[in-house]
Structure 1
Protein backbone atom coordinates (compact mmCIF):
# COMPACT_ATOMS: atom_id res chain seq x y z
CA UNK A 1 0.00 0.00 0.00
CA UNK A 2 2.83 2.37 0.86
CA UNK A 3 4.54 1.58 -2.45
CA UNK A 4 1.30 2.25 -4.25
CA UNK A 5 0.91 5.62 -2.55
CA UNK A 6 4.51 6.48 -3.37
CA UNK A 7 3.96 5.61 -7.03
CA UNK A 8 0.89 7.81 -7.18
CA UNK A 9 2.80 10.68 -5.55
CA UNK A 10 5.72 10.38 -7.97
CA UNK A 11 3.36 10.22 -10.94
CA UNK A 12 1.57 13.30 -9.66
CA UNK A 13 4.82 15.24 -9.30
CA UNK A 14 5.99 14.22 -12.77
CA UNK A 15 2.63 15.26 -14.17
CA UNK A 16 2.65 18.64 -12.42
CA UNK A 17 6.24 19.45 -13.34
CA UNK A 18 5.62 18.43 -16.96
CA UNK A 19 2.82 20.98 -17.25
CA UNK A 20 4.45 23.77 -15.22
CA UNK A 21 4.70 26.96 -17.24
CA UNK A 22 7.92 28.66 -16.24
CA UNK A 23 8.66 32.34 -16.72
CA UNK A 24 11.19 34.96 -15.67
CA UNK A 25 10.97 38.67 -14.92
CA UNK A 26 14.01 40.95 -15.07
CA UNK A 27 13.73 43.72 -12.50
CA UNK A 28 16.00 46.76 -12.74
CA UNK A 29 17.56 48.77 -9.93
CA UNK A 30 17.39 52.43 -8.89
CA UNK A 31 16.05 54.76 -11.57
CA UNK A 32 12.92 55.36 -13.61
CA UNK A 33 12.99 53.06 -16.61
CA UNK A 34 10.91 53.12 -19.79
CA UNK A 35 13.06 50.79 -21.94
CA UNK A 36 15.02 48.63 -19.51
CA UNK A 37 15.42 45.92 -22.16
CA UNK A 38 17.79 48.13 -24.14
CA UNK A 39 18.93 50.77 -21.67
CA UNK A 40 19.46 48.76 -18.49
CA UNK A 41 20.08 45.11 -19.40
CA UNK A 42 20.64 45.01 -23.19
CA UNK A 43 19.01 42.47 -25.46
CA UNK A 44 22.08 40.24 -25.45
CA UNK A 45 21.83 39.75 -21.68
CA UNK A 46 18.04 39.23 -21.67
CA UNK A 47 17.93 36.75 -24.53
CA UNK A 48 20.80 34.62 -23.25
CA UNK A 49 19.18 34.42 -19.80
CA UNK A 50 15.77 33.57 -21.32
CA UNK A 51 17.33 30.76 -23.36
CA UNK A 52 17.32 28.70 -20.16
CA UNK A 53 13.52 28.53 -20.21
CA UNK A 54 11.53 25.71 -21.87
CA UNK A 55 9.79 28.54 -23.73
CA UNK A 56 12.29 31.34 -24.28
CA UNK A 57 9.45 33.81 -24.94
CA UNK A 58 8.18 33.51 -21.38
CA UNK A 59 9.95 36.55 -20.03
CA UNK A 60 9.12 40.12 -19.15
CA UNK A 61 11.37 43.13 -18.58
CA UNK A 62 10.03 45.46 -15.90
CA UNK A 63 9.89 49.24 -16.39
CA UNK A 64 8.99 51.11 -13.19
CA UNK A 65 9.95 54.18 -11.21
CA UNK A 66 12.44 52.82 -8.68
CA UNK A 67 13.52 56.31 -7.69
CA UNK A 68 10.73 55.99 -5.11
CA UNK A 69 10.60 54.24 -1.75
CA UNK A 70 10.11 50.51 -2.21
CA UNK A 71 6.54 50.57 -0.85
CA UNK A 72 5.46 53.42 -3.14
CA UNK A 73 2.77 52.59 -5.69
CA UNK A 74 5.14 53.76 -8.43
CA UNK A 75 7.72 51.19 -7.27
CA UNK A 76 6.30 48.00 -5.72
CA UNK A 77 2.81 48.86 -6.96
CA UNK A 78 4.06 49.20 -10.52
CA UNK A 79 6.07 46.00 -10.17
CA UNK A 80 3.05 44.12 -8.82
CA UNK A 81 0.93 45.38 -11.71
CA UNK A 82 3.42 44.33 -14.39
CA UNK A 83 4.11 40.94 -12.79
CA UNK A 84 0.39 40.25 -12.46
CA UNK A 85 -0.18 41.11 -16.12
CA UNK A 86 2.70 38.84 -17.15
CA UNK A 87 1.48 35.94 -15.00
CA UNK A 88 -2.05 36.24 -16.36
CA UNK A 89 -1.19 36.81 -20.01
CA UNK A 90 1.30 33.92 -20.17
CA UNK A 91 -0.47 31.68 -17.64
CA UNK A 92 2.76 31.46 -15.62
CA UNK A 93 2.77 28.88 -12.83
CA UNK A 94 6.43 29.10 -11.79
CA UNK A 95 8.12 32.50 -11.75
CA UNK A 96 11.80 33.30 -11.30
CA UNK A 97 12.60 36.93 -10.49
CA UNK A 98 15.98 38.24 -11.60
CA UNK A 99 16.80 41.48 -9.85
CA UNK A 100 19.66 43.94 -9.85
CA UNK A 101 20.74 46.26 -7.05
CA UNK A 102 17.80 48.10 -5.45
CA UNK A 103 15.38 45.93 -7.41
CA UNK A 104 16.10 43.23 -4.84
CA UNK A 105 14.75 45.49 -2.09
CA UNK A 106 11.52 46.16 -3.97
CA UNK A 107 11.04 42.42 -4.48
CA UNK A 108 11.76 41.70 -0.82
CA UNK A 109 9.13 44.27 0.11
CA UNK A 110 6.51 42.32 -1.85
CA UNK A 111 7.62 38.93 -0.53
CA UNK A 112 7.75 40.23 3.06
CA UNK A 113 4.42 42.07 3.16
CA UNK A 114 1.72 39.86 1.61
CA UNK A 115 -1.18 41.84 3.11
CA UNK A 116 0.01 45.22 1.82
CA UNK A 117 -1.54 44.79 -1.64
CA UNK A 118 -4.17 42.35 -2.86
CA UNK A 119 -1.96 41.42 -5.82
CA UNK A 120 0.97 40.32 -3.67
CA UNK A 121 -0.25 36.84 -2.58
CA UNK A 122 -0.60 35.52 -6.13
CA UNK A 123 2.87 36.81 -7.02
CA UNK A 124 4.31 35.26 -3.86
CA UNK A 125 2.62 31.92 -4.59
CA UNK A 126 4.00 31.83 -8.14
CA UNK A 127 7.56 32.91 -7.24
CA UNK A 128 9.88 29.90 -6.91
CA UNK A 129 13.22 31.72 -6.85
CA UNK A 130 14.84 35.14 -6.76
CA UNK A 131 18.25 35.53 -8.38
CA UNK A 132 19.53 38.79 -6.93
CA UNK A 133 22.44 40.31 -8.83
CA UNK A 134 24.43 42.64 -6.58
CA UNK A 135 21.45 43.38 -4.29
CA UNK A 136 21.73 46.45 -2.05
CA UNK A 137 20.26 44.51 0.88
CA UNK A 138 22.33 46.38 3.47
CA UNK A 139 22.46 49.73 1.71
CA UNK A 140 25.61 51.58 0.72
CA UNK A 141 27.78 54.29 2.31
CA UNK A 142 27.62 56.07 -1.04
CA UNK A 143 23.93 56.78 -0.45
CA UNK A 144 24.85 58.35 2.89
CA UNK A 145 27.38 60.55 1.11
CA UNK A 146 24.85 61.71 -1.49
CA UNK A 147 22.20 62.51 1.11
CA UNK A 148 24.75 64.37 3.22
CA UNK A 149 25.31 66.62 0.22
CA UNK A 150 29.07 66.88 0.67
CA UNK A 151 31.56 67.51 -2.11
CA UNK A 152 31.58 63.82 -2.94
CA UNK A 153 27.99 64.12 -4.15
CA UNK A 154 28.96 65.53 -7.54
CA UNK A 155 31.09 62.52 -8.42
CA UNK A 156 28.23 60.19 -7.49
CA UNK A 157 25.46 61.81 -9.46
CA UNK A 158 25.97 59.61 -12.52
CA UNK A 159 25.70 56.49 -10.34
CA UNK A 160 22.95 57.27 -7.86
CA UNK A 161 21.15 60.41 -8.91
CA UNK A 162 20.73 63.25 -6.45
CA UNK A 163 18.90 62.49 -3.24
CA UNK A 164 15.86 60.63 -4.60
CA UNK A 165 13.75 58.66 -2.14
CA UNK A 166 15.37 55.45 -3.37
CA UNK A 167 18.80 56.90 -2.58
CA UNK A 168 17.64 57.91 0.90
CA UNK A 169 16.24 54.42 1.38
CA UNK A 170 19.62 52.85 0.62
CA UNK A 171 21.46 54.67 3.40
CA UNK A 172 23.07 52.07 5.64
CA UNK A 173 21.16 52.98 8.82
CA UNK A 174 17.85 53.22 6.97
CA UNK A 175 18.26 49.77 5.42
CA UNK A 176 19.18 48.40 8.85
CA UNK A 177 15.86 49.71 10.15
CA UNK A 178 13.87 48.29 7.23
CA UNK A 179 15.62 44.94 7.61
CA UNK A 180 14.81 44.85 11.31
CA UNK A 181 11.13 45.78 10.95
CA UNK A 182 9.71 45.40 7.45
CA UNK A 183 11.85 43.10 5.32
CA UNK A 184 12.43 39.37 5.70
CA UNK A 185 15.41 37.28 4.74
CA UNK A 186 18.16 38.89 6.84
CA UNK A 187 19.67 37.47 10.07
CA UNK A 188 17.16 37.38 12.92
CA UNK A 189 14.19 37.86 10.60
CA UNK A 190 11.74 35.31 9.14
CA UNK A 191 12.83 33.56 5.96
CA UNK A 192 11.49 34.71 2.63
CA UNK A 193 8.83 32.60 0.94
CA UNK A 194 11.20 31.72 -1.92
CA UNK A 195 14.99 31.28 -2.10
CA UNK A 196 16.76 34.63 -2.47
CA UNK A 197 20.10 33.80 -4.08
CA UNK A 198 22.66 36.57 -4.36
CA UNK A 199 25.42 36.99 -6.90
CA UNK A 200 28.13 39.08 -5.27
CA UNK A 201 30.44 41.42 -7.17
CA UNK A 202 33.79 41.69 -5.42
CA UNK A 203 35.99 44.12 -7.34
CA UNK A 204 36.36 46.66 -10.15
CA UNK A 205 39.02 46.50 -12.85
CA UNK A 206 39.70 49.48 -15.08
CA UNK A 207 43.19 49.00 -16.50
CA UNK A 208 43.18 50.66 -19.90
CA UNK A 209 45.26 47.81 -21.39
CA UNK A 210 42.87 45.12 -20.12
CA UNK A 211 40.12 44.30 -22.62
CA UNK A 212 37.90 42.96 -19.84
CA UNK A 213 37.68 46.48 -18.41
CA UNK A 214 35.65 47.56 -21.43
CA UNK A 215 32.74 45.17 -20.86
CA UNK A 216 29.77 47.28 -19.79
CA UNK A 217 31.52 50.51 -20.77
CA UNK A 218 35.03 51.59 -19.84
CA UNK A 219 34.00 54.98 -18.41
CA UNK A 220 31.65 53.21 -16.02
CA UNK A 221 34.53 51.07 -14.82
CA UNK A 222 36.68 54.13 -14.21
CA UNK A 223 33.88 55.80 -12.25
CA UNK A 224 33.29 52.70 -10.13
CA UNK A 225 37.01 52.42 -9.48
CA UNK A 226 36.85 55.90 -7.97
CA UNK A 227 33.81 55.23 -5.80
CA UNK A 228 35.36 51.98 -4.61
CA UNK A 229 37.82 54.08 -2.63
CA UNK A 230 34.99 54.88 -0.19
CA UNK A 231 34.02 51.22 0.20
CA UNK A 232 35.50 48.01 1.59
CA UNK A 233 38.23 46.18 -0.27
CA UNK A 234 35.56 43.66 -1.26
CA UNK A 235 33.03 45.70 -3.24
CA UNK A 236 31.71 46.18 -6.76
CA UNK A 237 32.25 49.96 -6.80
CA UNK A 238 28.76 50.65 -5.46
CA UNK A 239 28.08 48.05 -2.79
CA UNK A 240 30.19 46.32 -0.20
CA UNK A 241 30.16 42.54 -0.45
CA UNK A 242 28.65 42.44 3.05
CA UNK A 243 25.61 44.39 1.81
CA UNK A 244 25.15 42.15 -1.22
CA UNK A 245 25.38 39.05 1.02
CA UNK A 246 23.06 40.19 3.80
CA UNK A 247 19.71 38.79 2.62
CA UNK A 248 18.96 35.20 1.70
CA UNK A 249 21.98 33.14 0.70
CA UNK A 250 24.98 33.70 -1.54
CA UNK A 251 24.73 31.69 -4.73
CA UNK A 252 28.26 32.68 -5.76
CA UNK A 253 30.84 35.44 -5.61
CA UNK A 254 31.82 36.51 -9.11
CA UNK A 255 35.29 35.00 -9.57
CA UNK A 256 34.20 31.54 -8.50
CA UNK A 257 32.09 31.09 -11.66
CA UNK A 258 32.81 33.83 -14.20
CA UNK A 259 34.80 33.22 -17.35
CA UNK A 260 38.47 33.89 -16.69
CA UNK A 261 37.65 34.33 -12.98
CA UNK A 262 36.87 37.96 -13.69
CA UNK A 263 35.24 40.20 -11.05
CA UNK A 264 31.87 41.80 -11.73
CA UNK A 265 31.57 45.53 -11.14
CA UNK A 266 28.13 46.93 -10.34
CA UNK A 267 27.71 47.81 -14.01
CA UNK A 268 28.92 44.46 -15.31
CA UNK A 269 26.54 42.43 -13.11
CA UNK A 270 23.65 43.54 -15.35
CA UNK A 271 25.43 43.11 -18.68
CA UNK A 272 26.63 40.29 -20.92
CA UNK A 273 30.03 40.00 -19.28
CA UNK A 274 32.21 36.98 -18.54
CA UNK A 275 29.51 34.37 -19.30
CA UNK A 276 27.17 35.71 -16.60
CA UNK A 277 23.90 35.35 -18.60
CA UNK A 278 24.68 31.71 -19.41
CA UNK A 279 25.44 31.01 -15.76
CA UNK A 280 22.06 32.46 -14.83
CA UNK A 281 20.19 30.62 -17.59
CA UNK A 282 21.55 27.31 -16.31
CA UNK A 283 20.14 28.10 -12.87
CA UNK A 284 16.58 28.78 -14.00
Structure 2
Protein backbone atom coordinates (compact mmCIF):
# COMPACT_ATOMS: atom_id res chain seq x y z
CA UNK A 1 0.00 0.00 0.00
CA UNK A 2 2.85 2.36 0.87
CA UNK A 3 4.56 1.66 -2.46
CA UNK A 4 1.29 2.18 -4.31
CA UNK A 5 0.77 5.54 -2.61
CA UNK A 6 4.29 6.64 -3.52
CA UNK A 7 3.77 5.50 -7.09
CA UNK A 8 0.55 7.48 -7.39
CA UNK A 9 2.26 10.56 -5.94
CA UNK A 10 5.12 10.31 -8.42
CA UNK A 11 2.68 9.89 -11.29
CA UNK A 12 0.79 12.98 -10.18
CA UNK A 13 3.97 15.02 -9.95
CA UNK A 14 5.48 13.80 -13.23
CA UNK A 15 3.59 16.21 -15.50
CA UNK A 16 4.83 19.13 -13.43
CA UNK A 17 8.38 17.85 -13.54
CA UNK A 18 8.35 17.76 -17.34
CA UNK A 19 6.27 20.85 -18.03
CA UNK A 20 7.48 22.89 -20.97
CA UNK A 21 8.76 26.39 -20.25
CA UNK A 22 8.59 28.80 -23.18
CA UNK A 23 10.79 31.86 -23.39
CA UNK A 24 11.47 34.53 -25.97
CA UNK A 25 14.75 36.27 -26.76
CA UNK A 26 15.02 39.57 -28.64
CA UNK A 27 18.24 39.74 -30.68
CA UNK A 28 19.14 43.18 -32.07
CA UNK A 29 20.86 44.00 -35.35
CA UNK A 30 24.10 45.77 -36.25
CA UNK A 31 25.52 47.95 -33.49
CA UNK A 32 26.96 47.75 -30.00
CA UNK A 33 23.99 47.71 -27.66
CA UNK A 34 23.99 48.27 -23.93
CA UNK A 35 20.24 48.90 -23.51
CA UNK A 36 18.52 47.36 -26.52
CA UNK A 37 15.24 47.16 -24.58
CA UNK A 38 15.01 50.94 -24.45
CA UNK A 39 17.01 52.03 -27.47
CA UNK A 40 16.65 49.37 -30.14
CA UNK A 41 13.31 47.61 -29.69
CA UNK A 42 11.66 50.05 -27.28
CA UNK A 43 9.38 48.95 -24.40
CA UNK A 44 6.12 49.01 -26.39
CA UNK A 45 7.40 46.26 -28.70
CA UNK A 46 9.00 44.02 -26.08
CA UNK A 47 6.24 44.32 -23.50
CA UNK A 48 3.51 43.66 -26.03
CA UNK A 49 5.15 40.51 -27.41
CA UNK A 50 6.04 38.96 -24.06
CA UNK A 51 2.41 39.13 -22.92
CA UNK A 52 1.82 36.15 -25.18
CA UNK A 53 4.01 33.93 -23.00
CA UNK A 54 2.50 31.67 -20.33
CA UNK A 55 4.87 33.49 -17.96
CA UNK A 56 5.55 37.00 -19.26
CA UNK A 57 8.76 37.16 -17.18
CA UNK A 58 10.38 34.53 -19.40
CA UNK A 59 12.02 36.91 -21.84
CA UNK A 60 15.43 38.39 -22.41
CA UNK A 61 16.70 41.31 -24.47
CA UNK A 62 20.19 40.69 -25.79
CA UNK A 63 22.90 43.35 -25.55
CA UNK A 64 26.01 42.48 -27.56
CA UNK A 65 28.61 44.03 -29.82
CA UNK A 66 27.28 43.27 -33.29
CA UNK A 67 29.73 45.65 -34.91
CA UNK A 68 31.98 42.58 -35.14
CA UNK A 69 32.03 39.67 -37.57
CA UNK A 70 29.21 37.27 -36.74
CA UNK A 71 31.58 34.56 -35.42
CA UNK A 72 33.53 36.95 -33.19
CA UNK A 73 33.33 36.18 -29.48
CA UNK A 74 31.95 39.67 -28.89
CA UNK A 75 29.08 38.84 -31.27
CA UNK A 76 28.13 35.14 -31.45
CA UNK A 77 30.04 34.37 -28.23
CA UNK A 78 28.19 37.11 -26.37
CA UNK A 79 24.86 35.96 -27.82
CA UNK A 80 25.58 32.36 -26.85
CA UNK A 81 26.53 33.42 -23.34
CA UNK A 82 23.39 35.47 -22.77
CA UNK A 83 21.08 32.86 -24.32
CA UNK A 84 22.67 30.12 -22.21
CA UNK A 85 22.26 32.15 -19.03
CA UNK A 86 18.63 32.84 -19.90
CA UNK A 87 17.91 29.18 -20.64
CA UNK A 88 19.56 28.01 -17.42
CA UNK A 89 18.26 30.72 -15.10
CA UNK A 90 14.65 30.48 -16.26
CA UNK A 91 14.57 26.75 -16.99
CA UNK A 92 13.63 27.39 -20.63
CA UNK A 93 12.78 24.26 -22.64
CA UNK A 94 11.22 26.06 -25.66
CA UNK A 95 13.11 29.09 -26.94
CA UNK A 96 11.61 31.42 -29.54
CA UNK A 97 14.16 33.85 -30.91
CA UNK A 98 13.11 37.14 -32.50
CA UNK A 99 15.92 38.74 -34.47
CA UNK A 100 16.21 41.88 -36.54
CA UNK A 101 18.48 42.60 -39.50
CA UNK A 102 22.06 41.41 -38.88
CA UNK A 103 20.94 39.62 -35.71
CA UNK A 104 19.59 36.95 -38.04
CA UNK A 105 23.10 36.36 -39.40
CA UNK A 106 24.59 35.94 -35.92
CA UNK A 107 21.83 33.48 -34.99
CA UNK A 108 22.33 31.60 -38.25
CA UNK A 109 26.03 31.33 -37.48
CA UNK A 110 25.21 29.57 -34.20
CA UNK A 111 22.71 27.21 -35.86
CA UNK A 112 25.05 26.46 -38.77
CA UNK A 113 28.19 25.75 -36.74
CA UNK A 114 27.27 23.62 -33.71
CA UNK A 115 30.84 22.41 -33.14
CA UNK A 116 32.29 25.93 -33.02
CA UNK A 117 31.32 26.51 -29.39
CA UNK A 118 30.27 24.04 -26.68
CA UNK A 119 27.27 26.24 -25.84
CA UNK A 120 25.78 26.11 -29.32
CA UNK A 121 24.23 22.59 -29.29
CA UNK A 122 22.08 23.27 -26.22
CA UNK A 123 20.88 26.56 -27.68
CA UNK A 124 19.96 24.83 -30.95
CA UNK A 125 18.25 22.01 -29.08
CA UNK A 126 16.12 24.41 -27.02
CA UNK A 127 15.26 26.66 -29.97
CA UNK A 128 11.78 26.12 -31.42
CA UNK A 129 12.11 28.69 -34.21
CA UNK A 130 13.70 31.96 -35.19
CA UNK A 131 11.40 34.75 -36.32
CA UNK A 132 13.75 36.91 -38.36
CA UNK A 133 12.47 40.43 -38.93
CA UNK A 134 14.01 41.91 -42.08
CA UNK A 135 17.12 39.70 -41.93
CA UNK A 136 20.13 40.78 -43.99
CA UNK A 137 20.69 37.21 -45.15
CA UNK A 138 22.17 38.14 -48.52
CA UNK A 139 23.68 41.48 -47.49
CA UNK A 140 22.89 44.92 -48.85
CA UNK A 141 24.36 47.19 -51.54
CA UNK A 142 24.35 49.93 -48.90
CA UNK A 143 27.10 48.09 -47.02
CA UNK A 144 29.17 48.08 -50.21
CA UNK A 145 28.53 51.80 -50.56
CA UNK A 146 29.59 52.53 -46.99
CA UNK A 147 32.80 50.53 -47.40
CA UNK A 148 33.53 52.41 -50.62
CA UNK A 149 33.17 55.67 -48.73
CA UNK A 150 30.65 57.37 -50.97
CA UNK A 151 27.66 59.53 -50.10
CA UNK A 152 25.77 56.60 -48.61
CA UNK A 153 28.03 56.67 -45.57
CA UNK A 154 26.40 59.72 -44.09
CA UNK A 155 22.92 58.70 -45.24
CA UNK A 156 22.90 55.33 -43.50
CA UNK A 157 25.46 55.79 -40.75
CA UNK A 158 22.73 56.22 -38.13
CA UNK A 159 21.30 52.84 -39.15
CA UNK A 160 24.22 50.72 -40.29
CA UNK A 161 27.36 52.18 -38.78
CA UNK A 162 30.64 53.20 -40.33
CA UNK A 163 33.08 50.70 -41.84
CA UNK A 164 32.85 48.22 -38.98
CA UNK A 165 33.53 44.52 -39.49
CA UNK A 166 29.77 43.89 -39.36
CA UNK A 167 29.20 46.38 -42.18
CA UNK A 168 32.08 44.88 -44.16
CA UNK A 169 30.55 41.42 -43.63
CA UNK A 170 27.16 42.51 -45.00
CA UNK A 171 28.52 43.48 -48.41
CA UNK A 172 26.66 41.49 -51.04
CA UNK A 173 29.63 39.47 -52.33
CA UNK A 174 30.87 38.77 -48.82
CA UNK A 175 27.50 37.41 -47.68
CA UNK A 176 27.36 35.28 -50.84
CA UNK A 177 30.68 33.73 -49.79
CA UNK A 178 29.57 33.14 -46.20
CA UNK A 179 26.27 31.65 -47.34
CA UNK A 180 28.09 29.28 -49.71
CA UNK A 181 30.75 28.18 -47.23
CA UNK A 182 29.74 28.69 -43.60
CA UNK A 183 26.01 29.29 -43.22
CA UNK A 184 23.01 27.04 -43.73
CA UNK A 185 19.57 27.87 -44.96
CA UNK A 186 20.11 29.51 -48.36
CA UNK A 187 19.50 27.97 -51.77
CA UNK A 188 21.70 24.94 -52.46
CA UNK A 189 22.88 24.70 -48.86
CA UNK A 190 21.81 22.35 -46.06
CA UNK A 191 18.70 23.34 -44.18
CA UNK A 192 19.02 25.01 -40.80
CA UNK A 193 18.34 22.66 -37.86
CA UNK A 194 15.38 24.75 -36.69
CA UNK A 195 12.88 26.91 -38.63
CA UNK A 196 14.17 30.33 -39.66
CA UNK A 197 11.18 32.41 -40.78
CA UNK A 198 11.59 35.85 -42.27
CA UNK A 199 9.24 38.80 -42.16
CA UNK A 200 9.90 40.83 -45.30
CA UNK A 201 9.61 44.61 -45.40
CA UNK A 202 8.62 45.67 -48.90
CA UNK A 203 8.43 49.47 -48.97
CA UNK A 204 8.88 52.76 -47.09
CA UNK A 205 6.32 55.50 -46.48
CA UNK A 206 7.48 58.92 -45.31
CA UNK A 207 4.81 61.44 -46.20
CA UNK A 208 4.49 64.16 -43.56
CA UNK A 209 0.73 64.06 -44.16
CA UNK A 210 0.44 60.34 -43.38
CA UNK A 211 0.39 59.48 -39.67
CA UNK A 212 1.66 55.98 -40.44
CA UNK A 213 4.94 57.50 -41.57
CA UNK A 214 5.67 58.56 -37.99
CA UNK A 215 5.63 55.06 -36.51
CA UNK A 216 9.20 54.14 -35.59
CA UNK A 217 10.42 57.69 -36.20
CA UNK A 218 9.50 60.01 -39.06
CA UNK A 219 13.00 61.22 -39.93
CA UNK A 220 14.35 57.68 -39.88
CA UNK A 221 11.72 56.77 -42.46
CA UNK A 222 12.65 59.79 -44.56
CA UNK A 223 16.25 58.57 -44.57
CA UNK A 224 15.18 55.07 -45.54
CA UNK A 225 13.03 56.33 -48.39
CA UNK A 226 16.08 58.20 -49.66
CA UNK A 227 18.34 55.15 -49.61
CA UNK A 228 15.56 53.08 -51.16
CA UNK A 229 16.28 54.90 -54.42
CA UNK A 230 19.45 52.81 -54.75
CA UNK A 231 17.73 49.50 -53.98
CA UNK A 232 15.19 47.37 -55.80
CA UNK A 233 11.59 48.51 -55.95
CA UNK A 234 10.78 45.86 -53.34
CA UNK A 235 12.87 46.90 -50.34
CA UNK A 236 12.53 48.30 -46.84
CA UNK A 237 14.96 51.17 -47.43
CA UNK A 238 17.93 49.12 -46.23
CA UNK A 239 17.49 45.64 -47.64
CA UNK A 240 16.11 44.31 -50.88
CA UNK A 241 13.26 41.84 -50.41
CA UNK A 242 15.45 39.20 -52.05
CA UNK A 243 18.04 39.53 -49.27
CA UNK A 244 15.41 39.30 -46.56
CA UNK A 245 14.01 36.17 -48.24
CA UNK A 246 17.34 34.44 -48.95
CA UNK A 247 17.55 32.19 -45.89
CA UNK A 248 15.00 29.78 -44.42
CA UNK A 249 11.42 30.45 -45.42
CA UNK A 250 9.31 33.57 -45.78
CA UNK A 251 6.78 33.76 -42.96
CA UNK A 252 5.01 36.71 -44.52
CA UNK A 253 5.57 39.87 -46.53
CA UNK A 254 4.52 42.90 -44.49
CA UNK A 255 1.40 44.01 -46.39
CA UNK A 256 -0.07 40.52 -46.28
CA UNK A 257 -0.65 40.77 -42.54
CA UNK A 258 -0.08 44.29 -41.26
CA UNK A 259 -2.90 46.60 -40.22
CA UNK A 260 -4.11 48.63 -43.18
CA UNK A 261 -1.72 46.64 -45.41
CA UNK A 262 1.00 49.08 -44.40
CA UNK A 263 4.60 48.39 -45.41
CA UNK A 264 7.29 47.98 -42.77
CA UNK A 265 10.40 50.07 -43.26
CA UNK A 266 13.62 48.66 -41.85
CA UNK A 267 13.17 50.80 -38.77
CA UNK A 268 9.50 49.91 -38.30
CA UNK A 269 10.15 46.16 -38.42
CA UNK A 270 11.72 46.36 -34.95
CA UNK A 271 8.92 48.45 -33.47
CA UNK A 272 5.27 48.04 -32.49
CA UNK A 273 4.00 49.28 -35.86
CA UNK A 274 0.87 48.21 -37.73
CA UNK A 275 0.16 45.31 -35.34
CA UNK A 276 3.52 43.58 -35.92
CA UNK A 277 3.80 43.24 -32.16
CA UNK A 278 0.43 41.49 -31.87
CA UNK A 279 1.36 39.08 -34.67
CA UNK A 280 4.52 38.17 -32.77
CA UNK A 281 2.58 37.99 -29.50
CA UNK A 282 0.16 35.49 -31.00
CA UNK A 283 3.06 33.45 -32.35
CA UNK A 284 4.76 33.00 -28.97
CA UNK A 285 1.49 31.59 -27.64
CA UNK A 286 1.81 28.63 -30.01
Q: Per the alignment, in what secondary structure is the counterpart of residue 95 of structure 2?
A: strand
CA pair 17-174 structure 1, distance change in 2 beyond 3 A:
farther
Partner of 2:9: none
Two-structure CA RMSD over aligned residues (Å): 1.4
Partner of 2:46: 46
Alignment of 1:19-168 (within 5 A): 19-168=19-168
- Cα distance in 1 between the residues matched to 2:21 and 2:136: 30
Partner of 1:272: 272
- Cα distance in 2 between the residues matched to 1:17 and 1:239: 45
Alignment of 1:209-248 (within 5 A): 209-248=209-248
Aligned residues: 271
- Cα distance in 2 between the residues matched to 1:78 and 1:147: 25
- TM-superposed CA distance for 1:16, in Å, is 9.0
- Cα distance in 2 between the residues matched to 1:59 and 1:152: 36
Is 1:197 matched up with 2:197? yes
- Cα distance in 2 between the residues matched to 1:155 and 1:40: 19
Q: Per the alignment, in what secondary structure is the counterpart of residue 20 of structure 1?
A: coil
- Cα distance in 1 between the residues matched to 2:155 and 2:135: 22
Name segments (4+ residues, structure 1) moved above 3 Å: 15-18
Partner of 1:263: 263
- TM-superposed CA distance for 1:18, in Å, is 7.5
- Cα distance in 1 between the residues matched to 2:96 and 2:247: 17
- Cα distance in 2 between the residues matched to 1:154 and 1:133: 24
Provide structure 1 residue ranges, at least 5 long, that are not aligned to the other structure.
1-14
- TM-superposed CA distance for 1:156, in Å, is 2.1
- Cα distance in 1 between the residues matched to 2:129 and 2:176: 24
- TM-superposed CA distance for 1:159, in Å, is 1.9
- TM-superposed CA distance for 1:158, in Å, is 1.6
- TM-superposed CA distance for 1:157, in Å, is 1.5
Structure 1 stretch displaced more, 30-39 or 149-158? 149-158
Q: Which protein is bigger by CA-based radius of gyration?
A: 2
- Cα distance in 1 between the residues matched to 2:67 and 2:235: 23
Q: Per the alignment, in what secondary structure is the counterpart of residue 227 of structure 2?
A: helix
| TM-score (ref. length: structure 1) | 0.93
Q: Per the alignment, in what secondary structure is the counterpart of residue 283 of structure 2?
A: coil
